[in-house]
Structure 1
C-alpha cells in the first residue's frame, strides 16, 4: 500500500561549529520539545542517465531507527520547499517496488533503475508538538556521509545540513520564524535540491541561458520546454490527476514545430516523430474530449427550463460519457506502459538535446520570422474559405492552422518582439472562437448518437432541444469568427 503526505521543508547548509539556536522559546503553552538521535542509511536509485534527478525527483530505500521504507519524492512547488512523499514499506531486497517504479516509468523513459548513491546520516531531531500532541515542526540536524560509485573508484563526501519540516498543525508563519533563527545562528539556505544531488556534485542552480545565436538553438529550447511539460503532465496522469490537457497541449506544440519549421529539420526524423505524436495525441483526445463534453452538457442542461428536461437525460448522458472516458483512459494508460510510447519519449529527448537540423537552422534566429508569416497565411486561407462556405471541415482546418500559428509565434517571440506577442494574443482569440465552434459541432453529432442509444422507454425530446442549442452556438461562433476576420484583415 502506498502512503502519501505533503512535505513542507527548507534545508540549510551548516558548518560543523554551528550551534543550534534555543528552540524552547517557540514551544507553545502546554507543548513540548522532544530530542532524539537516529542512525539512517539510504540507498538512492535512478537511471544511469540520472533522469529522476534531472526532474527533481528522488527515490530511496531507507533503513535505520526511524522513517524506514521506500520513499519517492516528487516536486510540489517551483521553489522546492514542498514535495509529495510517497511511501511503501521496506522489502527484503533492493528491487524497487512496482508501485513506485511504474509511477516514474515515463520520467525514466523506460530505462532501468539502478543504485546510484549510498548515504549515511547521523540525525538529531528536535520535534516541537502542541498541547494536543500534534507536530508543529521537526528540525533535523544531520551529519551526512555519502559514497557514489564512479568510473575507476568512488566519490566520497561529507557535510552537515539542517532540515526544518513543518508538521500538520503548524501555523503558516512558523517556517519564517525558524528561518530567521537558523539564519542568525549562521546557517544558509542550501543551494542543492536534495542530499543525492549534493553527493553527486550535481550543479545546483540552473544557469541563465544566453540569447540563442541560431535558429536551430531556438527550436531546440522550445522542444526541450515541451519535453519537460510532457514529463510533468504524464507523471500526473499516472498518479490519477487530470492533466490530460496539459500533455495534449505540449504534444500539439511539438507537432506544430515539426510542421511549421520543417525546412530547418530532418524530414525523415520529423515525419517519424510526428506519426508517434499524432498517435499519442489521439489517445489523449479520446479521454479529454469526453471530459469536455460531459462538463458542457451539465451546463447546457442546467440552463434549460425544467419543463423541457424530460426523464433522466442528464444522468443518462453523464453515465454514457463517463463509461467511455474510463474505457479510453484505461487504453491510454496501457499505451503509456508500452514500447511505442517509451520509444517516443526517448526520441523527444534526443530532439530536446540535439535536434536533427538542416543547414537552414544554422542561420540567425530572425530567419524563423519567415516561417511564422507562412503559418499566418495558412490561417487566412482556411478561415476565408470556411467563412465563405460555412464548412465545418474548413473551419476546423482554420482552427488547427490558428493553433499552429500561435505556437509558432510563441517559439519565435524573441525574434518577433511586440508583433510576436500581439500575434499570440490574436491567434489565441481566434482559437477560442473556432474551438467553441468545433465543440458545438462535435456536441451536436454526439447528441444524435446518444439519443439513438437511449433506452426505448426514455423520451428523447431533450436531446433534440440540446441539439438545436448546439447548432445555434456553432452558428454564433461562425458570426464571431467572421467579425474577427474582418477586424484583422484591415
Structure 2
C-alpha cells in the first residue's frame, strides 16, 4: 500500500540574499539549521504533458529523507496529497494506475530533471515541536525532451508540519513579505521548469499543456457545455480517489455520471441526442459498476441503524452476525473488480469520447438561442414530468404500484434538479430555488425507496435465517417498522409537494 502524506506549503520568489530572519514570527522559539540536502528528481509525463495540464506531478527523486517515487495530487490551493512508493527503475504500478485516466494509452516518459541544493531550516515552538520546514532551494532544471533547454532559479519553500494549523503559514508569509519576499508566480517547480525550458517560438513549435480557458457562457449551448465540462472534469479528478477507496469518492463519481446523462436528456434540443444517447448508455454502465457496492453500503447503514434502535428484548437469534455476513459477502473482491473497470478499454474509451464531445460538441440550432428561453423551457418541461409522476403516485393505492410510481418520480426529480443546476448560472434565483426544492423532494422519496429496498433485503435475510433454523422474529419486527417509515413518507408527500408547487409557481417554473 502506497504511503500518502498531506502536504500544505507555499512557495516564494528568492534572490541571492537567502532566507530572511524568521525568529520574529509569532510562535517561533528557534530557527534550527538542518544543513543542505542535494536532491535529484526526474519528472515523468506524456509527450503532450497531460499530467502537467491537470496539475499532477510524478517524479523519481533521490537525496533527502524521502527518496522514492512521488505522485502529487492537488486537493486545494497550496494543498496536495503526496503518494509515495519506494525507489525502483520503472514507474510503480500503483502510481501508474492513479494517473491512468489522464495518461490512457499514451506512454509515460522522463520530461524534466530538477537538481536542487536545499538549505533547510526548522521553525520550532517553545515546546520544541516542529511548526514548519523552510528551505531555500537553488534549482537547476533540464528539459529531457524538445532539445533539452535549461533554466535555474532560487526559491523559498515553507511546508507546514504534519497536523499544523495553516494559520501559521500566514504568520510566516507576513514576515517574508515584510522582508520583500513575494509569492512565487508558479504553482510548482515543475510548472516553472516546463515554462522556462520550453523551446522558443523561433525553435520548435510550442506544445500546449492545457486547453484554452473557456469563455464566459453566453448562449444556451455555452451554459449546457459548461455543466457537461464540469462533470467530465469531476470524473477525471475523482478517478484517483476511487482507486484509493477514498471516502465518498465512488458516490461522487457516480453522481457525476448521472448528472451527465440527465443533462443529455434534458437538453436534447441543445446537444444532438443521436450522439449523446450512446454516450449516456456507457455512462449508465459506469454508474452501474460504481453502484454495485454503493447500494449495498447504503442498505447496510440503514439496517445497522434500525437494528441499533431495537431494544434487546426484540432481537432474537444471531441477527447482527447474519447482517455482517450479508454486508461483507461481495466486499472481498470488489476493490479489484472496480479497479479492473477503471483500467478497462471500455472505460478509457468513454473518457476519450467525453473529451471529444467537449472539444467538438454536437450542437443543434437551439444551442445558439437565448439561455432564458431555451434552458428555461427545458427545465419547465422536466418539472412538468415530475409533477405528473408525483400526482400519479399520490393518487395510486398503497402497494407495489405506488412504490413504483414514487421511484419513477424520484428519478425524474433528480433529473430536474440537475437540469436546474445547469440552468442556475443563466437563470439565477428561480433555477437555484428549483434545484433546492428538487433536492428536498429527492431526499424524501429516497427515504421511501430505501425502505422498499430494505424490506426486500429483510425478506431475503429472513428466508436464509429460517432455512438455517434461526428465528425470523426480528426480521419481521424490522419489516413492520420499515412499512411504517414508508407510510409516513407517503402521508407527508401531498403537503410537501403542495409547498414545492407553490414555490415553483412563485418562481415561474
Q: TM-score, normalised by structure 1?
A: 0.91
Residues 1:270 and 2:269 aligned together: no
How does 1:306-455 map onto structure 2 within 5 Å?
A: 306-366=312-372, 367-390=374-397, 391-454=402-465
Pick the aligned partner of 2:177 from 159, 165, 183.
183
Q: Which residue of structure 2 aligns with residue 288 of structure 1?
A: 294
Structure 1: how far apart are the matches of 2:46 and 2:230?
21
Residues 192 and 204, structure 1, Cα contact 8 Å, conserved in 2 = no
* Unmatched 5+ stretches in structure 1: none
Q: Is the 8 A contact 2:51 2:103 kept in 1?
A: yes
- 1:344 alignment partner, SS class: helix
Corresponding residue SS for 1:412:
helix
Of 111-120 and 412-421, deviating more is 111-120
Q: Alignment partner of 2:457: what SS?
A: helix
The match for 2:55 is: 56
- Residue of structure 2 in register with 1:41 after alignment: 40
Of 77, 80, 86 in structure 2, the residue corresponding to residue 79 of structure 1 is 77
Distance (whole Å) between structure 2 residues aligned to residue 169 and residue 363 of structure 1: 52
Q: Which residue of 2 aligns with 1:21?
A: 20
Q: Alpha carbon RMSD of aligned pairs, Å?
A: 2.7
Task: From the superposition, tell whether residues 264 and 285 of structure 1 become closer, same or farther in structure 2 (CA, over 3 Å).
Answer: same
2:6 aligned counterpart, secondary structure: strand
> Which range moves more in the overlay, 379-388 or 449-458?
449-458
Secondary structure of the corresponding residue to residue 121 of structure 1: strand
Provide the C-alpha distance between the structure 1 equivalents of 2:404 and 2:292, rounded to a whole number of angstroms: 19
**SS of aligned partner of 1:240:** coil
Conserved? CA contact 1:290–1:322, under 8 Å: no
Q: 1:219 to 1:170 in 2, by over 3 A?
A: closer
Alpha-carbon distance in 2 for matches of 1:196, 1:436: 48
**Residues 275-334 of structure 1 deviation map (CA, whole Å, 9 limit, x = unaligned):** 110011111222111111111111101112221111221231132122234444443222
- Equivalence map 1:182-261=2 (5 Å): 182-201=176-195, 210-242=215-247, 243-261=249-267
Give the C-alpha shift of residue 354 in structure 1.
3.2
Shift of 1:167: 2.4
SS of 1:145's partner is strand
Confirm or deny: 8 A CA contact 1:290 1:324 kept in the other structure: no
User: Partners in 2 of 1:50 and 1:365 — Cα distance?
Assistant: 36
Give the Cα separation in 2 of the matches to 1:359 and 1:382. Answer: 30
1:108 is matched with which residue: 103, 108, 115? 103
Give per-residue Cα distances to partners, 1:171-192, cap 9 Å, x unaligned.
6654233222221222111232
Distance 1:249 1:169, change over 3 A: closer
SS at match of 2:101: coil
The 8 Å contact of residues 113 and 143 in structure 2, kept in 1 or not, is answered as: yes
C-alpha deviations, 1:90-127, integer Å up to 9, x for none?
22x3x211121112222434533222222222221123
Say if 1:136 and 1:169, in contact at 8 Å, map to a contact too.
no
What SS class does the counterpart of residue 435 from structure 2 fall into? helix
Q: Which residue of 2 aligns with 1:156?
A: 150
| Alignment partners' CA distance in 1, 2:165 and 2:433 | 44
Which sits farther off after the overlay, 254-263 or 304-313? 304-313
1:181 alignment partner, SS class: helix
Alignment partner of 1:299 is 2:299:
no
Shift of 1:24: 4.8
Q: Deviations over 1:454-483 (max 9, x none)?
A: 262321111111111112212221222222
Task: Return the alpha-carbon distance in structure 2 between the equivalents of residues 255 and 122 of structure 1.
Answer: 51
The superposition leaves residues 259-287 of structure 1 with CA deviations (integer Å, 9 ceiling, x where unpaired) of 11112223332122111100111112221
Distance 1:183 1:124 in 2: 20
For structure 2, the 5+ residue unaligned runs are 197-207, 503-509
What secondary structure does 2:469 align onto? Answer: coil
Q: Do the aligned residues in 1 keep the contact of 2:223 with 2:425 (CA within 8 Å)?
A: no
SS, match of residue 297 in structure 2: helix
Give the conservation status (yes or no) of the 8 Å contact 2:132–2:160: yes
Contact 2:9 2:160 in 1 (8 A): yes
* TM-score (norm. length: structure 2): 0.88
Post-superposition shift, 1:361?
1.4
How many equivalent residue pairs? 484
Q: Deviations over 1:399-443 (max 9, x none)?
A: 111000110011011322221111111111111111111111111
Give the match's secondary structure for 1:84: strand
Q: Measure how far apart 1:215 and its partner are.
A: 1.8
